[in-house]
Amino acid sequence: MRTIICEEPGKLVLKQKERLAPGEGYAQIRIRRIGVCGTDLHAFEGTQPYFSYPRILGHELSGELVECNGAPGFKNGDIVTFIPYFNCGACIACKSGKPNCCVKINVCGVHVDGGMTEYLNVPISALVHGDGLSYDDLALVEPLAIGAHSIRRAAVKPGEFVLVIGAGPIGLGVMEFARIAGGNVIALDVNAKRLAFSRDNLKVAHVINASTDNVLDQLSAITKGEMPTVVIDATGNLKAINNGFQYMAHGGRYVLVGLQKGDICMSHPEFHKREATLMSSRNATREDFYHVIGSIKSGLVQPGAYITHRIAFENVTSEFESLPDPSNGVIKAVIELE
1, 88, 112: which is closest to 337 by C-alpha? Answer: 1
Spell out the long-range contacts of 194-203 with Cβ–Cβ below 8 A and sequence spacing 24 or more: 194/167, 194/168, 194/331, 195/167, 197/167, 197/172, 197/331, 198/167, 198/172, 201/305, 202/172, 202/175, 202/176, 203/179
Q: What are the domain boundaries of the chain? A: 2-139+302-336, 147-280
Distance, in Å, from the CA atom of 304 to the CA atom of 167, rounded to the nearest integer, reads 17
Q: Which CATH class is domain 2-139+302-336?
A: alpha beta
Cβ pair 269, 246 in contact under 8 A: no
125, 137, 120, 27: which is closest to 76 by C-alpha? Answer: 27
Distance, in Å, from the CA atom of 248 to the CA atom of 231, rounded to the nearest integer, reads 6
Read off the pLDDT of residues 121-165 as tens digits, 9 standing for 90 and up. Answer: 999 999 999 999 999 999 999 999 999 999 999 999 999 999 999
Read off the pLDDT of residues 181-227 as tens digits, 9 standing for 90 and up. Answer: 999 999 999 999 999 999 999 999 999 999 999 999 999 999 999 99
Amino acid, single-letter form, for residue 54: P
* Residue 326 binned pLDDT confidence (cut-offs 50, 70, 90): confident
Spell out the long-range contacts of 249-253 with Cβ–Cβ below 8 A and sequence spacing 24 or more: 249/161, 249/223, 249/274, 250/274, 250/275, 250/276, 251/275, 251/276, 252/227, 252/228, 252/276, 252/277, 253/154, 253/155, 253/229, 253/277, 253/278, 253/279
* Residue 117 binned pLDDT confidence (cut-offs 50, 70, 90): very high
Is the pLDDT at 66 greater than 90? The verdict is: yes
DSSP state of 62: E
Q: What is the pLDDT of residue 267?
A: 95
Fold of 147-280: Rossmann fold (3.40.50)
